[in-house]
């Protein structure tokens, strides 16, 4: 999806913002914010599962795990212990399109955090023994994903939606690739190919001085050779007509649905933002159309949500729901009916205004912390969209009801979509307990940013 939204608004100002590109191609973005004595260094690489081959599936995520396991001068466990010693927090995530690593700390410890990151990205050990030990950890992570209905549905949905594109593959990889295809040599080759200055952006946000940060980063990265990543040109899959259906069964007592239309990539930011607004109208919050119609009025679902998922090469508008398996056909019909209303009936002006305000509020919550600001900026930098992002608030406010209805007609009125459903195995149904009472509304108490709270795109794979 396009969020979190880097919209300049009250509570977050873009300037002063320093963007510098080193001679070797490394991009550095520094955002001073002196509201609290805190800082974040967040290092982004333009590589994810999108750049993998079939045999490499899961490599980007496996490598992310390994970079925490030591360098030439820091042994296993020493990186985490050192960060903890100065009160810092660290994590990382691998997605379809990118990978990033951050350390959050008190601002007086930022130099230590920057040096640790430099050591990791310059001197990662990638020790064969550590790789073998981590292999089991990742296989267990894959097993947990295969036992999670929303992840199973998401993987099935992507395989149908993107039958030839790398987006069809799971970010975690498969048991087959993790066990037998990913080796110390292949991890090292992936690292030296993609973890290069021309594919790297360092975000530093917080109570910092820009000149000091730039000087430190030049000393640690300035001597790296100018290396660019391979050019990745991936054509999207052809569109189709008709509904593609996928049916799965598991030992569950609930029914799950994910329905998706192919839409637009980051190359079309205007329509992507409009589809984000339609996602709010359709399925974010207690008063969204899907929640009112399917949960509050018909009592058909315990959870339901909708969102636009915008990626580098493609995108989708998707609906997710959880329900009593006996109601599956009624849920599918009701979801389709609500989507049809988006393009058949005029959208009330008040409803569109409410959607605009909802997005702005989500954004403001997402940038309350230095970590949130760095994620907003990093998401924009890896898409080469910093300048474009400066105008997003004006773009959000420019959408009229008529324009949104036209957008819905363009992307949601055709029958070329995927319907993925998951329900209990027949024997499990006989033993299943009574259906649960409806839970929280999708979007209610959800993380800041227009996320997919009900079985949408899985969160970043993390170590």
Closest alpha carbon to 119 in 183, 60, 75, 88: 75
Phi-psi region of 455 (alpha: psi -120 to 50; beta: other; left: phi over 0): left
Contact present, 160 and 247 (Cβ < 8 Å): no
State the pLDDT at residue 10.
Answer: 40
Residue-wise over 69-90: b if at least 16 C-beta within 10 A, else e? Answer: bbbeebeeeebeebbeeeebeb
pLDDT in tens, the chain (463 residues): 333 333 333 445 677 899 999 999 999 999 999 999 999 999 999 999 999 999 999 999 999 999 999 999 999 999 999 999 999 999 999 999 999 999 999 999 999 999 999 999 999 999 999 999 999 999 999 999 999 999 999 999 999 999 999 999 999 999 999 999 999 999 999 999 999 999 999 999 999 999 999 999 999 999 999 999 998 878 777 877 889 999 999 999 999 999 999 999 999 999 999 999 999 999 998 999 999 999 999 999 999 999 999 999 999 999 999 999 999 999 999 999 999 999 999 999 999 999 999 988 887 788 888 898 899 899 999 998 888 777 777 888 999 999 999 999 999 998 889 999 999 998 655 555 544 433 333 333 333 333 333 333 444 443 4
Phi and psi for 357 in degrees, rounded to 5?
-65, -35
State the pLDDT at residue 438.
Answer: 39
Cα(first)–Cα(last) distance of the chain, in Å? Answer: 22
Beta strand segments in 35-137, E: 38-45, 89-94, 99-106
State the pLDDT at residue 242.
Answer: 83
**What pTM was computed for the model?**
0.88
Distance CA 38, CA 370 (A): 7
What is the token pair recorded at 179? 């066990």
On the 0-12 / 13-18 / 19+ scale of CB atoms within 10 A, 204 is buried
Q: Which domains, from first to last, does the chain contain?
A: 17-221 (3.30.830.10), 243-431 (3.30.830.10)
Residues 6+ positions from 136 with CB-CB distance below 8 Å: none
Instruction: List Cα–Cα distances, 420 to 37, 313, 369, 384, 454, in angstroms.
Output: 47, 22, 37, 33, 14
What is the token pair recorded at 158? 């992507």
> How many other C-beta atoms are found inside a 10 Å radius of the C-beta of residue 233?
6
Residue-wise over 113-139: b if at least 16 C-beta within 10 A, else e? Answer: bbebbbbbbeebbbbeebbeebeeebb
Phi-psi region of 182 (alpha: psi -120 to 50; beta: other; left: phi over 0): beta
- DSSP per residue over 196-207, as a string? SGGGEEEEEEES
Closest alpha carbon to 316 in 307, 326, 325, 329: 307
Closest alpha carbon to 25 in 200, 216, 231, 213: 200
State the pLDDT at residue 8.
Answer: 38
C-alpha torsion sign, points 421, 252, 463, 206: positive
Closest alpha carbon to 158 in 139, 172, 141, 137: 172
State the pLDDT at residue 445.
Answer: 31
């Amino acid at each position: 999806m396009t969020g979190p939204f880097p919209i300049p608004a009250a509570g977050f100002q873009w300037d002063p913002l320093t963007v510098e590109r080193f001679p070797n191609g490394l991009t550095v973005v520094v955002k001073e914010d002196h509201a609290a004595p805190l800082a974040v260094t967040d290092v982004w690489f333009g590589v994810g599962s999108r750049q993998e081959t079939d045999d490499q599936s899961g490599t980007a995520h496996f490598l992310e795990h390994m970079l925490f396991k030591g360098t030439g001068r820091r042994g296993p466990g020493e990186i985490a212990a050192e960060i903890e010693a100065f009160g810092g927090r660290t994590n990382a995530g691998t997605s379809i399109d990118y990978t990033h690593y951050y350390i959050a700390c008190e601002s007086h410890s930022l130099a230590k955090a920057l040096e640790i990151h430099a050591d990791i990205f310059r001197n990662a050990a990638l020790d064969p023994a550590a790789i073998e030990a981590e292999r089991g950890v990742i296989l267990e992570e894959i097993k947990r994903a295969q036992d999670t209905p929303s992840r199973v549905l998401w993987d099935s949905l992507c395989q149908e939606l993107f039958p030839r594109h790398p987006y069809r593959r799971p970010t975690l990889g498969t048991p087959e690739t993790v066990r037998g295809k990913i080796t110390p040599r292949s991890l090292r080759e992936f690292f030296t190919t993609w973890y290069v200055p021309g594919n790297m952006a360092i975000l530093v946000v917080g109570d910092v001085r820009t000149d000091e940060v730039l000087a430190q980063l030049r000393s640690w990265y300035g001597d790296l050779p100018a290396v660019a990543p391979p050019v990745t040109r991936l054509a999207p899959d052809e569109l189709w007509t008709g509904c593609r259906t996928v049916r799965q069964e598991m030992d569950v007592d609930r029914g799950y649905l994910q329905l998706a239309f192919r839409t637009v990539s980051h190359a079309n930011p205007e329509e992507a933002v409009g589809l984000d607004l339609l996602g709010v109208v359709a399925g974010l919050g207690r008063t969204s159309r899907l929640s009112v119609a399917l949960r509050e009025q018909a009592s058909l679902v315990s959870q339901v949500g909708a969102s636009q998922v915008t990626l580098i090469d493609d995108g989708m508008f998707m609906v997710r729901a959880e329900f009593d398996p006996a109601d599956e056909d009624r849920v599918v019909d009701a979801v389709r009916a609500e989507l049809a209303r988006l393009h058949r009936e005029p959208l009330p002006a008040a409803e569109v205004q409410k959607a605009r305000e909802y997005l702005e509020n989500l954004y403001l919550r997402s940038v309350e912390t230095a970590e949130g600001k760095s994620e907003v900026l990093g998401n924009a930098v890896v898409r080469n969209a910093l300048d474009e992002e400066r105008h997003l608030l004006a773009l959000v406010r420019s959408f009229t009801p008529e324009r949104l209805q036209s957008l819905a007609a363009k992307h949601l009125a055709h029958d070329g979509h995927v319907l993925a459903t998951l329900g209990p195995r027949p024997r499990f149904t006989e033993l299943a307990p009574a259906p649960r009472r409806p839970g929280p509304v999708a979007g209610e108490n959800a993380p800041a940013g227009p996320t997919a709270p009900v079985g949408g795109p899985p969160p970043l794979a993390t170590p």
